[in-house]
Structure 1
Amino acid sequence: MSLAAAASTTVFEWPVRVYWEDTDAGGIVFYANYLKFMERARTEWLRAQGVEQQALAEREGALFVVTDARLRYLGSARLDDALQVSVEPQLIGRARLSFLQRCRLGEQLLCEGQITVACIDRAQHRPRRIPSDILARLQPQADLTE
């Protein structure tokens, strides 16, 4: 059963190799590192949409921050595994984005998460709207908008 209510039209995938530093004493990926893998994939998804986060911060004074993360762990990855981390936009709103993300080893689903990020003002750390030019690039990537 999926954590998301809606299917996305666009799935972005990013490869992640498991390094020694990603594993715990038991030799498997430490659970919190799946969040790091998902963060990397979302950053690369934004870059693929023409959104560079450093430029967004400097030019627009805007940042994306995680406001909610719900994960289900279904399997374990180990040292040197080559994972695929997917990003499926679920909701593109005026000030927030919601994604279904999955980490897979081949066809095996290891971790699934519903992640929500909000746009905030860099200086005041208060919610703000996503700049309109960026919103226009992102909205075609999801089935749902608010």
Structure 2
Amino acid sequence: MTHHWPIRVYYEDTDLAGIVYYANYLKFIERARSEMVRDLGIDQAALKATQDIVFAVRRVEADYRAPAKFDDELVVETKILRASPVRLELSQDVMRAGTVIFAAKVTLATINGQGGVAKLPPEMLSKFC
């Protein structure tokens, strides 16, 4: 499964040099993941309220390849690499005009409100496969 989410770079996303501040790429890919989950029909607030399950970032590998600048139009492409009841592995590329400028591999864990392992129900897990 591949999900695409467009984003425009605003002035607030940039640093003194006029390029996107490195930590903001993590915000971009977080927003894209949230939109992907929403597009899959999963209400994260309801998931927490009814089943005490949330997604938590366990690991991120990031590769900064080229700078994005103010007013650039970007697309975040999210691919699900692996899905299990307790873990999702994703690749996320931030692209400008079809060229990858930032690449990340993200591992999400499913946890409960106390920080322990929580398993996704099979009907929800199937949405990620």
Q: Specify the TM-score bucket, using the shorter chain as the normaliser.
A: over 0.9
Is 1:18 aligned with 2:9?
Answer: yes
Indicate whether 1:134 and 2:129 are aligned.
no
CA distance, structure 2, for counterparts of residue 131 and residue 32 of structure 1: 33
Matched, 1:82 2:82: no
Match of 2:93 among 66, 84, 102: 102
What amino acid does structure 1 have at the position aligned with 2:3? F
Match of 2:59 in 1: 68
TM-score of the pair, normalised by structure 2: 0.96
For structure 2, the 5+ residue unaligned runs are: none
Partner of 1:49: 40
Give CA-to-partner distance per residue, 1:88-143, whole Å, 9 cap, x none: 00010110100000000112211000000000012x1111111222112222xxxx
What secondary structure does 1:58 align onto? Answer: helix
Structure 2 Cα separation of the partners of residues 40 and 114 of structure 1: 15
Paired residues, number: 129
TM-score (norm 1): 0.85
In 2, Cα distance between equivalents of 1:107 and 1:128: 37
Which contiguous aligned blocks of 4+ residues in structure 1 show a shift greater than 2 angstroms?
A: none
Paired amino acid for 2:122: S
Residue in 1 that maps onto 2:112:
121
SS for the counterpart of 1:32 is helix
Q: Whole-Å Cα distance in 2 between the matches of residues 86 and 101 of structure 1?
A: 6
CA distance in 1, matches of 2:115, 2:122: 19
Distance 2:27 2:121 in 1: 26
1:36 partner amino acid: K
Partner of 1:29: 20
User: What RMSD in Å do the two structures reach over aligned CA positions?
Assistant: 0.9
Q: Work out the CA distance in 2 between the residues paired with 1:67 and 1:101.
A: 15
SS in structure 2 opposite 1:34?
Answer: helix
